[in-house]
Chains A and B, each alone.
Chain A
Amino acid sequence: MLQEAIPDLAKYVEPDRVRREVYTDPDIFELEMQRIHEKVWIYCGHETQVPKAGDYYTVQIGRQPMLMVRASDGSIHVLYNRCPHRGNMMCGDRKGNAGEFFRCSYHAWTFQHDGRLRSIPMMESGYSGTPLNKESPDCSMKRAARVENYRGFVFASLAKDGPTLKEFLGKAIVAFDDMCDRAPEGKVEIVPTCFRVIQHSNWKIFLENQLDALHPSVTHQSTGRAAHEVEKEIAKRTKKGEAPLSYHMLSAFATVTIDKWDAFQTINYPYGHCILTGYMGLRPQDPDTKAYDQVMIKAYGQKRFEEIVGVNIHHVLIYPGLSVQSQLQQLRAVRPLSVDKTLTEIWHFRLKDAPEAIYRRSLAYYNLVNSPSTLINADDLENFWKCHQGLSSDGGKWVSFARHLGRDLEKDGVVETAPNCGTSEAPMRNQMKAWAEYMRG
Chain B
Amino acid sequence: MAKASKPVVPAKAGIQKSNGREVHYEVEQFLYRQAELLDGKDWQGYIDLFTPDGVYWMPPEPSHTTWDGMPAIFAEDKNLMTVRMKRILHPDAWSQRPLWETNHVVSNIMVEKETGDEVHVRSRFHMMELRRDDVRHFAGSYRHTLKRTPQGFRIKLQRVDMTNAQAAYDYVIQAWV
Within 8 Å CB of B174, what residues of A? 373, 378
Q: Is A252 in the interface zone, CB < 8 Å from B?
A: no
Contact (Cβ within 8 A) A221 B71: no
Q: How far is the CB of A380 from chain B (nearest CB, A)?
A: 9
Bound CA–CA A383/B96 (angstroms): 12
The interface-forming segment of A61-69, A124-132, A363-371 is A363-371
Q: Is B79 in the interface zone, CB < 8 Å from A?
A: yes
Within 8 Å CB of A247, what residues of B? 83
Within 8 Å CB of A221, what residues of B? 90, 92
The interface-forming segment of B26-34, B116-124, B165-173 is B165-173
Contact (Cβ within 8 A) A372 B172: yes
Q: Is B106 in the interface zone, CB < 8 Å from A?
A: no
Using A197-B172, A367-B72 as known contacts, say yes or no to A373 and B92 having CB atoms under 8 A apart: no
- A191: which of B71, B84, B90, B92 is its contact (CB, 8 Å)? B71
Within 8 Å CB of B74, what residues of A? 371, 373
- B75: which of A233, A367, A374 is its contact (CB, 8 Å)? A367
Bound CA–CA A58/B84 (angstroms): 34
Interface string of A202-224 (1 = CB under 8 A from B): 00000000000000000101110
Interface size class of A (residues with CB under 8 A): 35 or more
Within 8 Å CB of A250, what residues of B? 83
Q: Is B163 in the interface zone, CB < 8 Å from A?
A: no
Contact (Cβ within 8 A) A366 B71: yes
Contact (Cβ within 8 A) A226 B71: no
Using A348-B71, A360-B69, A382-B95 as known contacts, say yes or no to A230 and B86 having CB atoms under 8 A apart: yes
Within 8 Å CB of A226, what residues of B? 82-87, 90
Q: How far is the CB of A426 from chain B (nearest CB, A)?
A: 26
Q: Is B93 in the interface zone, CB < 8 Å from A?
A: yes
Q: Which of A260-286 contact B (CB under 8 A)?
A: none
Bound CA–CA A196/B75 (angstroms): 18
Q: Is B60 in the interface zone, CB < 8 Å from A?
A: yes
Contact (Cβ within 8 A) A222 B93: yes
Q: Is A259 in the interface zone, CB < 8 Å from B?
A: no
Q: Which of A347-364 contact B (CB under 8 A)?
A: 348, 356, 359-360, 363
Contact (Cβ within 8 A) A381 B73: no
Contact (Cβ within 8 A) A382 B71: no
Within 8 Å CB of A374, what residues of B? 172
Q: Is A195 in the interface zone, CB < 8 Å from B?
A: yes
Contact (Cβ within 8 A) A196 B87: no
Q: How far is the CB of A205 from chain B (nearest CB, A)?
A: 15
- A381: which of B80, B87, B172 is its contact (CB, 8 Å)? B172
Q: How far is the CB of A222 from chain B (nearest CB, A)?
A: 4
Q: How far is the CB of B159 from chain A (nearest CB, A)?
A: 15
Interface string of A374-407 (1 = CB under 8 A from B): 1101110111000000000000000000000000
Q: Is A98 in the interface zone, CB < 8 Å from B?
A: no
Q: How far is the CB of A236 from chain B (nearest CB, A)?
A: 12
- B172: which of A343, A366, A373, A383 is its contact (CB, 8 Å)? A373
Q: Is B58 in the interface zone, CB < 8 Å from A?
A: yes
Interface string of B152-177 (1 = CB under 8 A from A): 00000000000000011111111000
Bound CA–CA A227/B81 (angstroms): 10
Interface size class of B (residues with CB under 8 A): 20 to 34
Most chain B CB within 10 A, of A366, A379, A381, is at A379
Contact (Cβ within 8 A) A196 B69: no
Using A198-B170, A375-B84 as known contacts, say yes or no to A222 and B69 having CB atoms under 8 A apart: no
Within 8 Å CB of A234, what residues of B? 79
Interface string of B22-61 (1 = CB under 8 A from A): 0000000000000000000000000000000000001011
- B82: which of A223, A225, A230, A379 is its contact (CB, 8 Å)? A230
Within 8 Å CB of B79, what residues of A? 230, 233-234
Q: Is A100 in the interface zone, CB < 8 Å from B?
A: no
Contact (Cβ within 8 A) B90 A222: yes
- B173: which of A225, A372, A383 is its contact (CB, 8 Å)? A372
Using A356-B69, A367-B72 as known contacts, say yes or no to A198 and B169 having CB atoms under 8 A apart: yes
Within 8 Å CB of B85, what residues of A? 226
Q: How far is the CB of B117 from chain A (nearest CB, A)?
A: 26
Within 8 Å CB of A373, what residues of B? 58, 73-74, 172-174
Within 8 Å CB of A306, what residues of B? none
Bound CA–CA A372/B58 (angstroms): 11
Q: How far is the CB of A96 from chain B (nearest CB, A)?
A: 14
Contact (Cβ within 8 A) A198 B86: no
- A225: which of B80, B86, B168 is its contact (CB, 8 Å)? B86
Contact (Cβ within 8 A) B71 A223: no
Bound CA–CA A363/B71 (angstroms): 6
Interface string of B75-114 (1 = CB under 8 A from A): 1000110111111001111111000000000000000000
Q: Is A3 in the interface zone, CB < 8 Å from B?
A: no
Within 8 Å CB of B70, what residues of A? 363
- A371: which of B73, B80, B171 is its contact (CB, 8 Å)? B73
Using A198-B168, A223-B87 as known contacts, say yes or no to A379 and B69 having CB atoms under 8 A apart: no
- CB nearest to B134 among chain A residues: A200
Within 8 Å CB of A191, what residues of B? 71
Q: Mind listing 21 A-B residue pairs with CB under 8 Å?
A: A195-B73, A196-B168, A197-B168, A221-B92, A222-B91, A222-B96, A223-B90, A223-B93, A226-B83, A226-B84, A226-B85, A230-B86, A359-B69, A363-B70, A363-B71, A371-B60, A373-B74, A373-B172, A379-B93, A379-B94, A382-B95
Other A-B pairs, 4, CB within 8 Å; known A197-B169, A367-B71: A230-B80, A230-B83, A234-B79, A372-B172
